[in-house]
Amino acid sequence: MRRGSTTVETVGVIGAGVAGLAAAGVLARQGFKVEVFEANDKIGGCCSTTEIGGFTFNDGALYLALPALLDRTFEAVGLDRRSALPLRRITAPQTTVLPTGDRVTFGDGRRITVQRARGTIDELLLERELDRMMSRWEPALRLLTDEILAEPLSLPRALAKGWRQLPKFRGTVAAELNRLFSDDAVRAAMSGVLLYTGIPPQQQPVISILGLVTLFSDGFHLPEGGMGQVPKALGDAVRIGGGKIHLNSRIDRIAVSGDRVRGLRLRGQELVELDAVVSTASGMLTFGSLLSPTDSPRRLARKAERAQLSHSAFSVQLGLRNKINTPSHSNCQLPLMERQGDVFSPCDDGVKWLVYDTPTVTLPELSLTGGSIIEMYPPVQRGLPIDDWTDSRDAHIVDKALEALSRVHDLDVAVTRVTSPKGFQDRLNLYRGAVYGLSPKVAPWNHFPHRTAIRGLYQSGQTTYPGYSVGRSAISGVLAAEALIQDQ
């Protein structure tokens, strides 16, 4: 073995989210004895679903982008993605209503409809502008998904392949949309798609625009049966390869002996001896608490301590007995792009800018017959100490969310599900409730590396390259497993 002195036979994986399951699937397929330890009572982590009263609610991720990355993950674990995970394209992704009364609807593929409160839009010009965005950015998207994200991070390789694209990557989303589109309402609808990052368009690095480009090319998708089907399929691959998944198995300590990993200590149990470990708990948890302070490599412990975290979120999910009349998966009332920082102003006195998703537009089977599901992330105070998220604070925000939604829909509520930042921390084991772990602003070379300074210990998941989101986290699991295999 190149990096270790013993042959690796048994590998422990911390976490059964998409990264852990992808890593375990690859390793099991290669003949390693794989044991996955998941703190929760089910698999999937931030890409799972929970059924309550006949409604299938997302626990985290709401839709899939970049399907090519999932195809590559499924191939690596020995599954055919098309048959193991049929996807339904979201053909009505977004409707945005502006304060002027203008309404912008994104349809299937490159279809954009603008209904003006007054006058009409120059449709030919809009078509030309959209084509211009696509021809400018689609090559960068292809390069990213086909070549750069699917391989370990290498700046020289990325530069060699992507130097032609490099000059585009300076500036912000807002500056680029101003350059590309002449219409205020269209720009606002475009930047609205990217507000999930928790960052206003004036501060978003221009690379985020690829989120829009993928919407108009590959599309956004939902797995038939809901997001929980992704880990279900990956979990099947682990079991087919002979791997074991242990639920309700929280790891408290990664044991190290000398400079080599020795095993994992489960809460209240003996040490499980292992030859190698892949941790998919966030880098902040792996290097900040799962390794003892004396074992944690100093550089990575410092990175964990100083990590720039992503925003934390508050979610309100409603299971409705009635079918609401929404045109699109995502429905937004937004200010113009220049004012979209306002969308994040806490809603303590009321929700001003209403943004919500209705997954049942694409997958009616997620709800009771004739019903629907609404998922909403009302803006809340950021940086509040996690224990300040009390039941009464939660209830106040839910009231404001319901008040805003009732202005536009009749709500016959059967189930209300609320998750505060504390809930995200406790339910999904997210460090300080930060939804993506690291902020999307953090550059790839500041993510946590797959190989660590401890022999036999690998890090994977959304705080490693290629970063957050379902497809990218899954690929990072594949890359960490491939690093382990290469080190044999």
Ligand X SMILES: Cc1cc2nc3c(=O)[nH]c(=O)nc-3n(C[C@H](O)[C@H](O)[C@H](O)COP(=O)(O)OP(=O)(O)OC[C@H]3O[C@@H](n4cnc5c(N)ncnc54)[C@H](O)[C@@H]3O)c2cc1C
CB 461 within 8 A of CB 281: yes
Options 63-71, 255-263, 365-373, 444-452: segment touching ligand X (CB under 6 A) = 63-71
| Residue 95, helix vs strand vs coil | strand
Of positions 209, 281, 481, 484, contacts ligand X by CB under 6 A? 281
Of positions 84, 442, 469, 482, contacts ligand X by CB under 6 A? 469
Beta strands across the sheet bearing 251-257: 251-257, 260-266, 271-273
For 33-70, give the DSSP string: EEEEE-SSSSSBTTS-EEEETTEEEESS---B--HHHH
Which is nearer to ligand X, 5 or 248 (by Cβ)?
A: 248
Minimum distance between the CB of residue 417 and ligand X, rounded to whole angstroms?
12
Separation between Cα atoms, residue 35 and residue 249, nearest integer Å? 11
H-helix or E-strand containing 392? helix 391-406
Answer whether the bond into residue 466 is a cis peptide, omega within 30°. yes
Which is nearer to ligand X, 32 or 424 (by Cβ)?
A: 424
The size of the interface with ligand X (CB under 6 A), counted in residues, is 37
Separation between Cα atoms, residue 108 and residue 336, nearest integer Å? 23
Check residue 226 for interaction with ligand X (CB under 6 A).
no
Residue in the structure block whose two tokens are 């909403």:
376
Check residue 63 for interaction with ligand X (CB under 6 A).
yes
Check residue 425 for interaction with ligand X (CB under 6 A).
no
Of positions 8, 11, 14, 238, contacts ligand X by CB under 6 A? 14
Check residue 47 for interaction with ligand X (CB under 6 A).
yes
Check residue 94 for interaction with ligand X (CB under 6 A).
no
Minimum distance between the CB of residue 19 and ligand X, rounded to whole angstroms?
3
Q: x-or-dash pattern for ligand X, window 375-404, by CB under 6 A?
A: ------------------------------
Options 98-106, 158-166, 337-345, 468-476: segment touching ligand X (CB under 6 A) = 468-476
Of positions 8, 11, 13, 16, contacts ligand X by CB under 6 A? 16
Which is nearer to ligand X, 55 or 468 (by Cβ)?
A: 468
Options 17-25, 208-216, 395-403, 447-455: segment touching ligand X (CB under 6 A) = 17-25
H-helix or E-strand containing 252? strand 251-257
Of positions 39, 130, 438, 479, contacts ligand X by CB under 6 A? 39
Interacting positions 240-269 with ligand X (CB under 6 A): 250-251
Instruction: Count the residues in the chain.
Output: 488
Check residue 40 for interaction with ligand X (CB under 6 A).
yes
Separation between Cα atoms, residue 53 and residue 417, nearest integer Å? 11
Interacting positions 117-146 with ligand X (CB under 6 A): none
Q: x-or-dash pattern for ligand X, window 283-322, by CB under 6 A?
A: --x---------------------------x---------
> Which amino acid, residue 24?
A
Check residue 334 for interaction with ligand X (CB under 6 A).
no
Of positions 26, 27, 35, 38, contacts ligand X by CB under 6 A? 38
Check residue 330 for interaction with ligand X (CB under 6 A).
no
What are residue 17's DSSP bridge partners?
44
Separation between Cα atoms, residue 311 and residue 291, nearest integer Å? 25
Token output for 232: 């279900």
Separation between Cα atoms, residue 11 and residue 481, nearest integer Å? 10
Minimum distance between the CB of residue 7 and ligand X, rounded to whole angstroms?
26
Minimum distance between the CB of residue 442 and ligand X, rounded to whole angstroms?
13
Which is nearer to ligand X, 73 or 340 (by Cβ)?
A: 73
Of positions 8, 12, 13, 20, contacts ligand X by CB under 6 A? 20
Which is nearer to ligand X, 17 or 371 (by Cβ)?
A: 17
Check residue 354 for interaction with ligand X (CB under 6 A).
no
For 274-310, give the DSSP string: -SEEEE-S-HHHIIIIIS-TTTS-HHHHHHHHH--B-
Which is nearer to ligand X, 121 or 398 (by Cβ)?
A: 398
With left for phi above 0 and alpha for psi between -120 and 50, is residue 119 left, alpha or beta? Answer: left
Query: Measuring CA to CA, which residue among 83, 85, 65 is closest to residue 22?
Result: 85
**What is the end-to-end Cα distance of the chain in Å, rounded?**
4
Q: Please write down the long-range contacts of 380-386, taking CB distance under 8 Å and 24 or more positions apart.
A: 380/313, 380/314, 380/346, 380/347, 380/420, 380/421, 381/346, 381/348, 382/311, 382/312, 382/344, 384/421, 386/421, 386/422, 386/425, 386/432, 386/433
Minimum distance between the CB of residue 14 and ligand X, rounded to whole angstroms?
5
Query: Measuring CA to CA, which residue among 385, 375, 273, 235 is closest to residue 315?
Result: 375
What dihedral angle (degrees, nearest 10) is formed by the CA atoms of 262, 264, 269, 272? Answer: -60
Of positions 435, 475, 480, 481, contacts ligand X by CB under 6 A? 435
Check residue 280 for interaction with ligand X (CB under 6 A).
yes
Of positions 28, 401, 470, 480, contacts ligand X by CB under 6 A? 470
Which is nearer to ligand X, 16 or 334 (by Cβ)?
A: 16
Buried-exposed string 331-352: b where 16+ CB fall within 10 A, e elsewhere: bbbbbebbebeebbeebeeebe
Minimum distance between the CB of residue 10 and ligand X, rounded to whole angstroms?
17
For ligand X, the binding residues (CB under 6 A) are 14-20, 37-40, 45-47, 60-65, 250-251, 280-281, 285, 313, 424, 428-429, 435-436, 461-462, 468-470, 473
